[in-house]
Amino acid sequence: MTPAVFRRYALFYLGYYGTLGAYTPYIGRWVASLGYGGYVVGAMLALWYGSRIFGPPLWSRLTSRSAVPGRWLVIGCLLAALGFSLFAGVANRGPMFAVMAWFGLCFNSVMPQFEAMTLSALGSRSDEYGRIRVWGSIGFLVVAGSYGWLLDRLGEAMFVWLTLPWLLLTIAAAWLHRRDGADSITVAPTTPLDDNQLDSAPVLQRPGMARLLATTLLMQLGFGPFYVFYTLHLQAQGHDGIAVGVLWAVGVLCEIIMFWQAPALVRRFGAQRLIGACLAVTALRWWLVAMAGGSLGWMALAQTSHALSFAVFHAACMRRMAELFPQRRHMVTAQGLLSAISGGTGGVLGAGLAAVAWQHGGGNLAFSAGAIAALAGLSLHLATAARAKALPAS
């Protein structure tokens, strides 16, 4: 991959995750500022994750049948930005949920497509994925670390307007890929995939894929309280906007550093071993957040584990995907399925679990439930790891 091509891919990750740097930490704060409680906040995030179930598989069919799938990337980003802009004019529950569904369907659909494009562009150098993906973490860091302070001063009503510029950057980055052809995501350079290639059954039948999906689903389930209520939990524990932003920034900074080291770690220890280590650390992390949320020092320490909980875990999962589908024949469908099952179903269940726990026991109960989910994922992974090693990778 030449430096110019590297920059094209890195820019999209920068814009996409810069948007998430505003959305993920602060959407709950914005919804709460409208006077809604934990159930509405949870429902908003459940819609967000639910769109991951339906959007990516449908989108993969559109893009995989297109001779120029790069155009669909641009269309998806345009529709996502238009949908998000409508948040500026809604305050009632019904319209807000409708806008959330629109935005989520469009925004969540384009990343599995782009992940497949990135892995195909890397080819046999899939272990270098982290060096591109780190630019998404940089975008998230800049936004998440500063927007708590900005919202303290400008007010929660500015949330939408502060997020839109990052969506526009995503559109501009997608435009650079508008002419990318079918060879950017498939092994056949000009021929669209047939129905057998798009069917998810062969993907699920690949040894190890079902176990990977179940493990990532449980990890995402454990992240539910973090994505939905972490900012509100910190505020309830007495931390101001600056402290909240700093804590988000600490996690993402450690994530960035680890993304640079992830290729070497994956090569040395292997994806399976790293996935297990990440699940164990994540369970400890959520227990610490539940028990010591009022301590800035302990929260900073917990956030450093984001290097493993997110960066290494994500890089190891991408490596495992490359091992399971080395010829990329089913890569688009597999990426869409991974997003739908882990990020989608796991996200919906995680948001629902977090909302119920928050209403009945606040952040302590919510993050304790997250720790239990991560432990369940670790148990599943350990129970199947030996069998997975005995099976062929492809």
For residue range 143-201, list pLDDT tens digits in order: 988 998 999 899 999 999 999 999 999 999 999 988 776 555 543 333 344 444 445 55
Residue 145 sits in a domain whose CATH number is 1.20.1250.20
Mean pLDDT of the chain: 84
Quote the pLDDT of residue 196.
44
What is the total count of domains within the chain? 1
Q: For residues 293, 255, 304 and 167, what is the CA-based torsion angle, rounded to 10 degrees?
A: -20
Query: CA separation (Å) from 205 to 209, 320, 333, 340?
Result: 7, 15, 13, 17
Quote the pLDDT of residue 56.
75
Which range (44-48, 66-70, 145-149, 386-390) has the least confidence? 386-390
Residue 66 has pLDDT above 80, yes or no: no
Q: Which domain holds residue 366?
A: 3-390
Contacts of 120 (CB under 8 A, 6+ apart): 183, 184, 185, 186, 328, 331
What pTM did the predictor assign?
0.77
* Bigger pLDDT: 193 vs 278: 278
| Distance separating alpha carbons of residues 218 and 370, to the nearest angstrom | 9
